[in-house]
Structure formats: C-alpha cells, structure tokens
Amino acid sequence: MSYTFPVKPAPALTKDTIQFFRELVRNNNKPWMDANRERYRAAVVEPLRALLDRLTPAARKLNSGFVITGRANDNFSRINRDIRFARDKMPYRPHMYLLLSEAGGEGGQLYAGVSADAVTCGFRIYGGSRTSPLVQFGRVRGRDNPQWIERQERRCGGEYESYWYSTEKGEWTKHKGWPTAPEQWKKLQAWIVRRKFSPAAATRAGFEREVAKVFTDVYPFYEFTSSPKWKR
C-alpha cells in the first residue's frame, strides 16, 4: 500500500523536539516546566500535531475506524504523570506518544514515541480488563496460530524488535523475542513490536513516510490482537 505525501515538506519533528526532552530529563520539576510551557507547546505539541495531520490519510486507509481528533488520550499521551503510586515523584514523563486506535481504548495501538534519545514507532497492546480484545480473543489466537506469528517474525524480524510482558510472582516481567509458543500466550499481558530511529533520522524532512511504512508493516498485529474480523 502506498501513500502520497507533499514533496519534501519541512520536518514535523525537529532538533528542538529532542532537545526539549533531553533538558526535561535533567530538570524534571514544576518550576522548570512552568518556565518552558510555551516552548513545550512549540517544540513538542505542535510538531506532533503536524505529524498526525500528515499521517491521517495513510491511517484512514489502514483503518477508517481509527479515532483521529487531535486530542490528548485519543491521539496523544499526556506529559503529566500521576505520581500518587509512583516510586519516584518526577511529575513529567520524559517522552510523548502519538497514538492511533479505534474507539474504546482497550485494543491495540499504532504509535510513534519521542524521547530524549530516540524515536520509536510500532504496535503495542496491553491486557487491560477481562473485556479487552487481548483477553477476549488475542490470547486465543496467539495460542492457536503459532505458525502465523513465526511467519511475521520472518517478515519483520530483521527490522523490528519484539518483546512481551507477563506477570511473574506479582512482578511485571519483560521477555525479549517473539511469542511463538502457545504457553507464552496463556500468560501474555502485553506485546510490543517496534522500530527504533535515531534523532537525526526522525528529524529529517519526510520522516512521515517512514512512520507510514512502519504502521503498514505492523498493522497485521493490530488486527490479530484487536479485530474480531481477523482472517489468516
């Protein structure tokens, strides 16, 4: 599937986007954020909105049901942290995500995340409640279709990193690799397939083409874990 983008548009993400997060890592406190609030809007919020605008036609072609409002929670993560139950009390997240998903919020997501040292793009899903798509049918598909996952590993394993999470003795535990064994899906709580870009690559003109390609490559994982209409 191909998409038409403007010819060599100015970069959506810039060096200022990355630099903002680098400084936030060193100054994660309210006085610093208050002094840099306008910079946050100019260097982070507006570039991510521009990236979403450029990606919208490609996203609509993948899935016309994706919610695209340009609002926090729908398409953007919040930078403020809920520190009530956090071990550290840093009030801000040193990263921000652009998100694409269908209404409901418990299924998988296509995402692009910006942090101090990298930009990552890919697919992710978390178990959530007992009525979440992963719990309802994603785990069953994973258990019953190991050969499909093995094919996806052969297709994407050269460019994409895969890892998944389970809960072991009450602890959230990360596992590297592709969950191809049926017993892994019985305890799988989350699955991430992503590609990592350097800040230099992510701040070049036309980066939205790279993101659109990633979204196309990982969209089958979204359907596999989140769509009741998935077909082999």
Question: How sure is the predictor about 61, in pLDDT bands with cuts at 50, 70 and 90?
Answer: very high
Question: How sure is the predictor about 4, in pLDDT bands with cuts at 50, 70 and 90?
Answer: low
Q: Options 3.40.50, 3.30.930, 2.60.120, 2.60.40; which CATH number does 15-226 get?
A: 3.30.930
> Is it the case that residue 150 has pLDDT exceeding 80?
yes
Question: How sure is the predictor about 102, in pLDDT bands with cuts at 50, 70 and 90?
Answer: very high
In this structure, how many other beta carbons lie within 10 angstroms of the beta carbon of residue 110?
25
**pLDDT of res. 229:** 82
Question: How sure is the predictor about 85, in pLDDT bands with cuts at 50, 70 and 90?
Answer: confident
Question: How sure is the predictor about 231, in pLDDT bands with cuts at 50, 70 and 90?
Answer: confident
**pLDDT of res. 84:** 75
Provide the token pair at 88: 């550290």
**pLDDT of res. 101:** 96
Tell me the pLDDT tens digit for each residue of 174-211.
Answer: 999 999 999 999 999 999 999 999 999 999 999 999 99
Tell me the pLDDT tens digit for each residue of 40-51.
Answer: 999 999 999 999
> Would you say 17 and 44 are in contact if contact means Cβ atoms under 8 Å apart?
yes
Mean pLDDT score across all residues of the chain: 92
**pLDDT of res. 203:** 95
